[in-house]
Amino acid sequence: MPAEKPTLVEVTVVGKDRKGVVADITNFIFRNGGNIEKINQNVVRGLFGMQLEASFIAVDRSQLDQGMRQLADKLKMEIKVHYQEPNRLRNVAIFVSKEDHCLLRILDAWKKGELKANISVIIGSEASLKPLADAAGIPFNAIAHTDQSEAEVKILQLLEQYNIDLIVLARYMRILTPNFVWRYPNRIINIHPSLLPAFPGAYAYTQAFERGAKIVGCTAHFVTEDLDQGPIICQDSFKVSQSDTEETIKKKGRALEALTLLEAVKLYLENRLEVYWGKVFVLDETADDR
């Protein structure tokens, strides 16, 4: 008989920084038969965030969930537990703004069966792309960012409602705060219109054109609290000719963005991505379900 595969559990902790958080969480996991596989923590302006992955040969979910709720009350922090379930299609949320090229490419691949996932919800910073969601039969929610913290609370509620496993930023022109990002470690994929680390931030194509760049490209990466500095998943590029204008560079770049973002999403859904020490390793063959 083959050995039973362990259950992988991801725990995220977010709240006001205080002593003893790491010890309380890890001791609880040890007492319940868990083994710590990965742990990462950070503090930004008094906000504490921790991501922890533990493996269990056998796990009592109700007992683990109840214990984590008790710890959350004791520490006065938000603690979420996410179970990796290999036999379930992952639930994907796509975040958009006005530009439709990345969303169109993902929806096309999804309709053709190239993406093995449920696209559960599309969330927009405005309602421009709602007709595309309606045509695909996918719920669409427009959430204005007049107040960033209020908007993120609403988005987090939606993600919880749809049990989201992966967030795809398909040219979502908003910056997510550490308070948001820490809840989905290595589960938010963004596409940036440059070969990072060159030209971070907005107007990357304009910067490339003004600097006379001879090669322009795009980068799909995991999102961290540091803008455009998350672990790089994949990149692609094209050569700039002397006849290219800023507009032709943007047109070529947008087509490449859609393909590169789709490739990164496929790699994630195929379990082919591993992140160690801030670097992404792409497995050569589809990994076994975990």
Q: How many CB atoms lie within 10 A of CB 108?
A: 14
The Cα 96–Cα 155 span in angstroms is 13
Q: Which CATH architecture has domain 7-83?
A: 2-Layer Sandwich (3.30)
Give residue 4's pLDDT band: very low, low, confident or very high (50, 70, 90).
low
pLDDT in tens, 242-276: 898 999 999 999 999 999 999 999 999 998 998 88
Which residue(s) pair with 80 in the sheet?
Answer: 12
Domain extents in the chain = 7-83, 90-282
Q: What percent of the chain has pLDDT over 70?
A: 96
pLDDT in tens, 89-136: 999 999 999 999 999 999 999 999 999 999 999 999 999 999 999 999
Q: What is the reported pTM?
A: 0.86
pLDDT in tens, 269-280: 998 998 888 899
The Cα 152–Cα 145 span in angstroms is 8
Which residue(s) pair with 16 in the sheet?
Answer: 47
pLDDT in tens, 221-241: 999 888 778 899 999 999 988
Q: What is the mean pLDDT of the chain?
A: 90
**Residues contacting 82, CB < 8 A, separation 6+:** 9, 10, 11, 12, 165
According to the model, what pLDDT value does residue 1 have? Answer: 42
Per-residue pLDDT for 55 more than 70?
Answer: yes
Q: Which residues participate in catalysis according to the annotation?
A: 228
| Annotation: CATH topology of 90-282 | Rossmann fold (3.40.50)
The Cα 162–Cα 286 span in angstroms is 26
